[in-house]
Chain A
Amino acid sequence: MKAAKRGGLYLLLGLGVLIAATPYLWMISSSFKDQVEIFAFPPTLIPHLPILANYSQVMSRLPLARIAFNSAFVSLSVSGLALFFGSLAGYAFARLKFVGREILFALALFTMMFPAILFLIPRFILIKQMGLVGTYPGLILPFAVSGLSIFLFRQFFALIPGDLRDAAIMDGCSELGVLFLVMLPLSKSVFVTAGVFVFMDTWNDFLWPMVVTMGHPELMTMPVGLAFFSQSYVTYWGASMAMATLFTVPVVVVYLFFQRYFVESIALSGLKG
């Protein structure tokens, strides 16, 4: 009985994997195909005649190392700042009492709710007045705090029983000490979850970097570079696939590395003990 159930489980999950992974795998495969084969019908997962031309087109056309650095630097900076500030604020909203707590938390939620497209021009005018057009801070600062990150941390910290903090304080820990030494380490899984959201959001963001780095090609990020292949009269699909592959495979690898923290950080049951 149990084996059948297990088998059914694997089957279902396997089907899900197929649906989830196929577009991505097709993308990698297409990066080695010429335009004709990319659109072959029915589509092929293994290229008939693999070519490297798409990759050489991408590498000769764009300063890939520079772009990779820019994207990584900006996304990591934004993630780092957003996670750090988010965890701090989330903890305060969840566990500390202070005047204005509810209002400020509501405002944190509001930051997620406003249609982002309307922010483009006012934020750009702001950045220009600060003299940050075409600079890294200009790319990073408007996203340095993330309402979602605050929300996720707050939800997490709200679930932790108060005894933990009380015990630590009785042991002689300061308020901040509790935060940095006890709470933050516990919230590893939230760091990963929130981190994924914030990182991927910045990584994929096209419009803001396009507007801010216009005329400053040394700061180009990957989505802006990718858009070069969707041109006015032709779209170089092969090159787009190649560039997308080059930039996403490292992200997948990094994710595989970090998601181990999921398995290890569970032990909240340690709280009861």
Chain B
Amino acid sequence: MKRNMNLIVVLVMGLSLILSACGPKAAPVTIEYWVINNDPDEKLANQYAVDFMADHPNITVKVSRMGENAEETIAAAVAAGTAPDVVQMSPLDALAYSKEGALVALDSFSDFKAAMQAAHKPADLVQAYQVESHNYLIPWRGSPILLFYNKALFEQAGVEPPKSRDDFVAVSKAIKEKTGAFALGTEGGGLQPEGWHRMFDYLELYDNTPNKGQFLNQDGTKAIFNNAEGVKTLQVFADIHQAGAAPTSAVSEDLFSAGKAAMTFAGSWKYSVMADVGILKPEDVGVVLIPTPDGTTPSYTFGDPRDLAIFSQSKHPNEAWEFITFMLEDKSSLALMETTGQLPVRDDLTSNATFKAYFDEHPEMTIFADSIAYTIPMDMSEHIWEVLGFFSAAFQKACLGDATAQQALDEAAAQVNDILGP
């Protein structure tokens, strides 16, 4: 009897030892998440952190906000080894960071495919994001860029929202003549040569040409933006600027929100910006699709996406991935829309019941949601910033009338081919 008792005690002790070793690892972990510079994004990130930490008591999420000079901050951090775990990144940086091994290949996580499907990420977009057959960034959120217009100014000029390229120029001239206001107020603020400004004027029209918004050829070895359609698209802007319908130097004021410009290319975030300035109400503006060369649909555009990535320096990639998958869930997507007024990159926005209430309450968002299927990503090239730099200088030159569109683009193409070349 005694021997049996001993055996049972040993067995019980042995079992409890084994069971405790197999239990969930409760070592506390802190992950850092860097968000881009704006209030709604920070608010959302903090919300996510709180909700996530409630479900994962051993993981602490620390949210930090980057300044406008995100490039320097991230570059210095990566070089010194103080980079965060999760970061919001611009797709323009995608290829450079991916190729240099600075990011974790997210498809190495076993549930990657499942997570992409559960989050209803458009399959071809995920495919397009691949670099050397790995996914380093996930398209997370953004807003298709559409054409906002000021109803009052349009009425005053007696014009309708433009559908074709020629319409666009004609309408702009009419508005300038009949109302004296600017026809186009760009999101960058006037005519400036920094590359990213083109993502909010030229790119949208350019997406609707046979080049489909690509500045470089398939292998990224040659510039293709100086072809006939590219030139015609630039001509549109040159005509508008030279007619005085758009400012020709830098402008700090948000002309559209102040009611001083009749149109702007912007995303759904424009509504909250307008609310901040306080002059235009949502019912004072209308939103239409990007003008196409001949006025027909479908109309494509740029999605202005923000991507999520994990730095390879991260000491806790698994926890970081858990946080990312949390951010892709339905309820997280809903919070995203409610807090930032932007859209998660999903193809089930209008079909998913979770979001129905939101779209009922915000009907103006429907056109944006429908356009997600028509967004085109930018060139995947590690030189894209520099390419845009040369292109933008040419854009400015043509708009100022210092060169013809063809001349300016040819010169820029030569400069681009120079740096792309062997």
Interface residues of A (CB under 8 A from B): 34-36, 38-39, 61, 120-121, 124-125, 127-128, 133, 206-207, 210-211, 214-215, 217, 224, 227-228, 230-237
Contact = CB atoms under 8 A, between A and B. Distances in A.
Nearest to A126: B80
Contacts, number: 90
A227 B79 CA distance: 23
Q: Which 5 A-B pairs have the closest CB atoms?
A: A231-B38, A39-B253, A128-B80, A227-B67, A234-B273
Nearest to A134: B82
Interface string B34-62: 10111101000000000000000000001
B72 A207 contact: yes
Nearest to B78: A121
A125 B36 contact: no
Contact of A207 (B69, B82, B253): B69
B65 to A, nearest CB: 7
Nearest to B251: A39
Contacts of A207: 69, 72
Nearest to B81: A128
B277 A36 contact: yes
B93 interface: no
A236 to B, nearest CB: 7
Contact of A236 (B69, B72, B84, B276): B276
B64 A128 contact: no
B81 A210 contact: no
A117 to B, nearest CB: 9
Given A124-B76, A128-B81, A234-B273, A39 B37 contact: no
A108 to B, nearest CB: 27
Given A121-B76, A234-B276, 16 more contacts: A35-B253, A35-B276, A127-B80, A128-B80, A128-B82, A206-B67, A211-B77, A215-B64, A227-B37, A227-B69, A228-B65, A232-B36, A234-B254, A234-B273, A236-B276, A237-B252
A114 B65 CA distance: 31
Interface in B228-272: 252-254, 258, 269-270
A206 B41 CA distance: 22
Contacts of B34: 214-215
B297 interface: no
B227 interface: no
A210 B67 contact: yes
Contact of A233 (B73, B75, B253, B273): B273
B68 interface: yes
B38 A215 contact: no
Contacts of B66: 214
Interface of B: 32, 34, 36-39, 41, 62, 64-69, 72-73, 75-77, 79-82, 84, 187, 252-254, 258, 269-270, 273, 276-279
Contact of A120 (B76, B81, B253): B76
Given A39-B258, A215-B84, A210 B69 contact: yes
Contacts of B269: 233
Given A128-B81, A228-B37, A214 B68 contact: no
Contacts of B38: 231-234
Contacts of A217: 64
20 contacts: A35-B258, A35-B277, A35-B278, A124-B76, A128-B81, A133-B82, A210-B67, A210-B69, A210-B72, A211-B72, A215-B64, A224-B67, A227-B37, A228-B37, A231-B38, A232-B41, A232-B68, A233-B273, A234-B276, A235-B254
Contacts of B82: 128, 133, 214-215
Nearest to A128: B80
Given A124-B80, A231-B37, A34 B72 contact: no
A137 to B, nearest CB: 16
Given A124-B79, A214-B73, A39 B32 contact: no
Contacts of B32: 215
Among B67, B80, B187, the most chain A Cβ lie within 10 Å of the Cβ of B67
Contacts of B67: 206, 210, 224, 227-228
A36 B32 CA distance: 38
A183 to B, nearest CB: 41
Nearest to B253: A39
Contacts of A234: 38, 254, 273, 276
Contacts of B65: 228
A243 to B, nearest CB: 14
Contact of A121 (B36, B37, B79, B252): B79
B80 A214 contact: no
A214 B38 CA distance: 15
Given A39-B258, A227-B67, A121 B75 contact: yes
Contacts of A125: 79-80
A210 B273 contact: no
B181 to A, nearest CB: 13
Contacts of A210: 67, 69, 72-73
